[in-house]
Every structure is written in structure tokens, then in C-alpha cells.
Structure 1
Amino acid sequence: MKTQHNTVLITGGSAGIGFEIAKQFVRKGNQVIITGRNPERLQQAAAQLTNTTALVSDVSNPADVDQLVERLQNEFPSLNLVVNNAGRAFYYSLSEDGVQATDKAAEEITTNYLSIIRLTEKLLPLLKKQPEAAFVNVSSIVAFVPNHALATYAASKAALHSYTQALRFTLAKDTAIKVFELMPPLVNTEFSEAIGGANGISPTVVAEELLNALETETYEIHVGNTADLYKLFLSSPADALLTLNSRR
């Protein structure tokens, strides 16, 4: 898929991986739209980019999504690339008393999984009109192997991985829309600070890997250590589980 002259939507584009992806697409000459919940942070991000529009929107809020989709249809009818990057994560132990795992899991599932289904469904008619189009779902290394301190987050990403595979298979049958899955390991961002993100790879590396994968049409993108863990997972799921959980 071409990585120039696209109209690109990036949810959660004001910081971290999303912001770095926006920077890479801007450098390639694309029109970029970033969304986020915090207006001030979103405007600060957009001020650092050219050819970028910032739209305040919470992907977990159905009313916000409806408003976003309507605006995209009216103002950006050439939209052909959607990067579902917005995420939510809680770092805790399932053995803690009163941890409220159900509430935390509900937030993670809503943001990391259900909101992507909702936005994809609503934007599908618009992307079908384009000669070339794609969805990119940002999941994680833990979609293959869960980390014990990110148990419900990992479950939400595993659900997203399964959905993404089914979406890719379905859309390939009767549309020109491609479906990519970006699967980073630990990344050094504010989002991952609580789980030792300082030890992770740069978000710039993740963004560069995405653009390379789009150009080569590599649909499942195993960034950094994700590639090694996936190989281990294929040979021994038990060893992969122990390996990932010994790192943090």
C-alpha cells in the first residue's frame, strides 16, 4: 500500500505511539487527522505537526464516535487509512483484595476492543469508496502471551487480535480494503511508564515499522521482541508465558 498522499485518521494521536505515527505520515506528505480526549494535549500535539487536524473525540463514547464519523464524512471524504491506536491499560495483580478487576476490564475492553469494532463498522462505507484503503489496529505483544500484571489488558488485545484476523479475511473477499495489525512490545511512552516503559523501545521505531509494513503489505507486524516471542510461542506456549512474565 502506498504511504504517501493518503488521508489518515489516528485515534489517540496526541502522544506516544499515535503521535509518532502521525509524525511519520506527515513527513510522507499525507493529510493527517488525530483524535484524543484531552483538548489541550491534542492541540499541543497538532501544533508540532503540519497538515494535521486535531479533533477532540473519545472513542469509548458512542455519541462522540457518531459526531466524529459525521465530520469525517463531510470534511474528509477522501479518508482511506484508519489507525485504531487509542488504548486503555491498568497495571495490577489479580490477587489483590478490592482491586475491582471487573471495572478495570470493562474499561479496557470498551476502549481496546469494542470501540474499534464500532468505529470500523461506521467508517467502512466511506473506506469502501476509496480506490485503496486500510485499517490498522494497534494491539500488542500480549495479544499472544499475557503478562500477569496486565491480565485484563492482555485479554482485550487478544480479542482485538482475533477480530482483526477475521476482519482481514472478510474484507479481502469482496473489498479492496486491507487490514493490518501492529503488535509492539514494551514501548517507552507515558502510557507504559507504570510497567517500566523506560526499558522499552522507542515509539519512533514502532511508527517506522508500521510504514515499512504498509509498503511491503506485511499484515501482521511483529515489532522488536514481539517477533522473538511469537516464534517461541509457536514452539512452546508455556515457555513463552514464562519468558514474558520473567521480564517485568
Structure 2
Amino acid sequence: MKTSGNTILITGGGSGLGRALAEAFHQRGNQVIIAGRRQAPLDEVALANPGIQTAVLDVTDSRDIEYFVQQIAHDYPHLNVVINNAGIMRAENWTADVVETETVKVTVETNLLAPILLTAGLMPLLRAQQQSTIVTVSSGLAFLPLASTPTYSATKAAIHSFSESLRHQLKGSNVDVVEIASPYLQTELMGARQASDPNAMPLAAFIEEVLHTLESQPEAKEVLVQRVLRQRFAAEKGQTAYQELFDLINGKR
């Protein structure tokens, strides 16, 4: 994937990782469109970064995705990169007398169904370009889950699997598939405290390493920063080492 001269759509671009990616790509000479559910956060990013465009999208609404795809194709006919970044992460208690399933539903809709539907809808537009890239955002939790967020971890595992299959099907075409697997980051994904958690990777450092990888390895299919390698390859270390790391992250019951 080239890092300049693109027209890039980034979902969940109003805050956190999405905003950081948008600003980084904007600074490198790309036309960037950020999408999100609420206009106000998008406007805040655009005001701070003149030239970034905004578009409202509710990724949990399949009809809204269909309309959004049509609008994007009309407004940005040269779109050649889509970064499926929008996501939510919420703790779940499966030991409760009644398991609250609304979190499960919205997590699957946001983290898994939405990027699949949006990618499918934008595929004709991406195929029409000389070279295009579909970027998925997974997580180290795709490879070694956080037990307190089982549905989030499961959706990220599914995104990794989807990325692998999609890349295989599109092999030899003009559409590449790049997966970015993030470690625990200093964002507000699970609340304000996470943004200053010393155990989390600073967002600026993550963006710098991601862009360095893309620039130095333009053919990269998986973008893996050093912080995520232990989780990404936990299974390759064998079952005992995997279980030890799982217990370290999740604690023994």
C-alpha cells in the first residue's frame, strides 16, 4: 500500500485510532474522508485539519450503509482505500443470572458485520481504480483473547479470518487487503482511563510504527508492531506457552 496520493475513507474517524490515522494520512498528502455516527466529533477533526472531509454513517444500520456507499461513490469517484476502523469494546459478564445480549449484538454489528457490508458495497468502486487497498483493523486479541470482552475478541478473530480469505480471493487483482493488528493502545476505547494507562502503547508511537511499516514494506499484508508480536504468535509457541500468556493476561480463576 502506498502512503500518499490516495483518496482514503476511514470509519470511526472522529476519535482515537481513527482520528490518528486520518491525521497521519492527511499529513502525507492524501485526500481523507472520515466517517462516524455523530457529526460533531467529525467536525472537530476537520476544523483541526483543514482539508479532511466528513460523512455521517451509522455502521449498525445496513440501510444506512447502502445509502452511504452510493453517496461516497458519487462524491469521491476516485476512492481507492477504505480503512475499516470503527469498533466498540465492552466488558461482558457471562456468569450473571441473565446475560445481557445487547452488547453482544451491537459489538457484532459494529466490529464484524459493518466492515463486511461496507467492503462489499464499495468493491465495485475499488475495482474501478488502478490500484486499491482494503484495510482491516484487528487486534492482538484476535489471537489471544481477553476473557472479559469475549465478543470483542471473537469479532477481531473473525476479522483476521475474513481478511485472510478476502486477500486470497482477490489475489492477482487490483485490490489489496492489509490487516493492521493493534495492541492495547492509549485510546478511550474502554473509557477515559485507558487513554493514560501506562500499560497501553502510546497512540502516537503506534501510528509512527504503522506508517513506517507501510512505507518501508509497501507489500506488507499484515502490519504488526513490536508490542503485538507476543499475542500474534502466541499459538506458535505451543500450548503451554499459550496458556501461560493467557493466564497472565486474564488471571487464573
Q: 2:143, 2:234 within 8 Å by CA — same for their partners in 1? A: no
**Is the alpha carbon distance of 1:214 and 1:129 closer, same or farther for their aligned partners in structure 2, counting shifts above 3 Å?**
farther
Matched position secondary structure for 1:187:
coil
1:243 aligns to what?
Answer: 248
Percentage of identical aligned residues: 34
Pairing of 1:202-221 with structure 2 (within 5 A): 202-215=202-215, 216=217, 217-221=219-223
Matched position secondary structure for 1:136:
strand
The reply to whether residue 74 of structure 1 matches residue 74 of structure 2 is: yes
- Stretches of structure 2 that go unaligned for 5 or more consecutive residues are none
Separation of aligned partners in 2, 1:213 and 1:126:
26
Separation of aligned partners in 2, 1:134 and 1:213:
15
1:137 aligns to what?
Answer: 136
**Is the alpha carbon distance of 1:180 and 1:31 closer, same or farther for their aligned partners in structure 2, counting shifts above 3 Å?**
same
Deviation at 1:246, TM superposition (A): 4.1
Matched position secondary structure for 2:78:
coil
Once structures 1 and 2 are overlaid, which stretch shifts more, 217-226 or 189-198? 189-198
Deviation at 1:131, TM superposition (A): 1.3
Q: 2:108, 2:155 within 8 Å by CA — same for their partners in 1? A: yes
2:83 aligns to what?
Answer: 83
Matched position secondary structure for 1:172:
coil
Aligned partner of 1:221: which letter? V
Deviation at 1:225, TM superposition (A): 2.3
The one of 179, 185, 190 aligned to 1:192:
190
Separation of aligned partners in 2, 1:8 and 1:55:
12
2:175 aligns to what?
Answer: 177
Deviation at 1:213, TM superposition (A): 3.2
Q: Which structure shows the bigger proportion of residues in helix conformation?
A: 1
Aligned residues: 245
Deviation at 1:93, TM superposition (A): 2.8
The reply to whether residue 3 of structure 1 matches residue 3 of structure 2 is: yes
Q: 1:213, 1:219 within 8 Å by CA — same for their partners in 2? A: no
Instruction: Calculate the TM-score normalised by the size of structure 2.
Output: 0.91
Separation of aligned partners in 2, 1:170 and 1:65:
23
Q: 1:84, 1:116 within 8 Å by CA — same for their partners in 2? A: yes
Deviation at 1:204, TM superposition (A): 2.1
Once structures 1 and 2 are overlaid, which stretch shifts more, 178-187 or 87-96? 87-96
**Is the alpha carbon distance of 1:196 and 1:62 closer, same or farther for their aligned partners in structure 2, counting shifts above 3 Å?**
same
Q: 1:11, 1:35 within 8 Å by CA — same for their partners in 2? A: yes
Aligned partner of 2:235: which letter? F
Separation of aligned partners in 1, 2:205 and 2:148:
25
Deviation at 1:48, TM superposition (A): 1.0
Pairing of 1:138-157 with structure 2 (within 5 A): 138-157=137-156
Deviation at 1:98, TM superposition (A): 3.0
Aligned partner of 1:160: which letter? I
Summarize deviations over 1:126-151 as a string: whole Å, max 9, x none: 11111111011111111001111111
2:61 aligns to what?
Answer: 61
Deviation at 1:196, TM superposition (A): 4.2
Matched position secondary structure for 2:98:
coil
Matched position secondary structure for 2:191:
helix
Separation of aligned partners in 2, 1:223 and 1:193:
23
Instruction: Calculate the TM-score normalised by the size of structure 1.
Output: 0.92
2:234 aligns to what?
Answer: 232
Q: 2:26, 2:32 within 8 Å by CA — same for their partners in 1? A: yes
Aligned CA-pair RMSD: 1.8
Separation of aligned partners in 2, 1:194 and 1:95:
26
Aligned partner of 2:98: which letter? G
1:158 aligns to what?
Answer: 157
Separation of aligned partners in 1, 2:58 and 2:209:
26
